[in-house]
Amino acid sequence: MNVSKQQWLLIKTPYWLGIFADALWAVGLLFPPVFAILTGNPEFNPDTQTRLIMGMGGSLMMGWTFLLLWAVRKPVERRVVILLTAFPVVLGMLIIAILGFLAGNSSNIWLILKSIVLIVSMTASYILSCRIDTVSTMENSLA
């Protein structure tokens, strides 16, 4: 099956959005002053225990960044990666952002909006990839 440029754009863009977002958060988690900027909390000054936890999270985010870089090379075949990125990774970030917003951090609104856009675009990428794979499989079985 021939996949149009528009379809490839719809499939790959969420991967690149995820790569960018994960890399950004990895840097933020590994460097608390960057985290302070990202969360809109200039007074953020974590203790040693919090820095260790952030370091673990940053390492995981960096790993997920590389996983998405690997998956975007064959986005139809590796589409489960984008689905796992949407659920539970981005969904978890959305829930945390909502909790932060409800606790009074109004700057979390951009995190909420970003997470919603990511979940919708990643889910759409997965669904389109499934359709392309199904049509491709049917064409191959008829040939």
pLDDT in tens, 13-60: 999 999 999 999 999 999 999 999 988 888 999 999 999 999 999 999
pLDDT in tens, 59-104: 999 999 999 999 999 999 999 999 999 999 999 999 999 999 999 9
In this predicted structure, the answer to whether residue 143 has a pLDDT above a threshold of 70 is no
Q: State residue 108's pLDDT score.
A: 85
Q: State residue 1's pLDDT score.
A: 64
Amino acid at 70: W
pLDDT in tens, 102-125: 999 888 898 899 999 999 999 999
DSSP calls for the chain: -PPPHHHHHHHHHHHHHHHHHHHHHHHHHHSHHHHHHHHT-TT----HHHHHHHHHHHHHHHHHHHHHHHHTTSTTTTTHHHHHIIIIIIHHHHHHHHHHHHTT-GGGHHHHHHHHHHHHHHHHHHHHHHHHHHHHHHHHHH-
DSSP calls for 104-120: T-GGGHHHHHHHHHHHH
